[in-house]
Copies of this chain bind each other. A is one copy, B any other.
């Protein structure tokens, strides 16, 4: 999951950003001052940072230097539309710049753009000895590649994205095949079966009688 660090001292703006990023599917940490942001950076790995320039304790420019050191892309947020700041930010190596007040959709677009550029979008899901890479569509068990068909891969991806969650047959069908599951259709069962067999993970995919299946996480 893609992790984003937001350093912003105005709580209202921080919350607005937080909610929208989370809703979009990112994992987000908030720091209300520069010191906390730096601490978070040294303890966790982030895929992207959003920094206000004017921050208590440590300002955005200093944070930027630190982020560059760690090779994490940075987008600056600032109330000042002043050109001088923009120039300084970009010269120092910020990846982008958004001026407050900004439309949230613009921020999201820039976030996406920078992430795409950096290819930091996380795409590998691990669970026990199973590893699924969404980008390459390669599945490994104990490090050795397992050859899955298209549907099998999609099914496993759904399971691994929803570990320890009961998935109704209807839900599975809808998410993997699209459309509605017809009465008496055994397609889902059959594919679950094939997946179990290929990966030899009979015990990790539990059948929930009259409901569907559940992939046990570790």
Contact = CB atoms under 8 A, between A and B. Distances in A.
A105 B88 CA distance: 11
Interface string A84-123: 0011001101111000000101100110110011000000
Contact of A166 (B91, B103, B135, B165): B135
Contact of A90 (B83, B110, B210): B110
A182 B87 CA distance: 40
Interface residues of A, number: 32
A52 B113 CA distance: 19
Given A90-B113, A113-B91, A165 B150 contact: no
Interface string A122-144: 00000000000001111000000
Contacts of A83: 103, 105-106
Contacts of A86: 106, 109
Contacts of A113: 90-91, 93-94
A149 interface: yes
A209 interface: yes
A20 interface: no
A150 B209 contact: yes
Interface string A164-177: 11100000000000
24 contacts: A83-B103, A83-B105, A86-B106, A86-B109, A87-B105, A87-B106, A90-B112, A91-B109, A91-B113, A93-B116, A95-B117, A117-B117, A135-B164, A136-B164, A136-B214, A137-B208, A137-B214, A138-B166, A149-B209, A149-B210, A150-B208, A150-B209, A150-B210, A150-B211
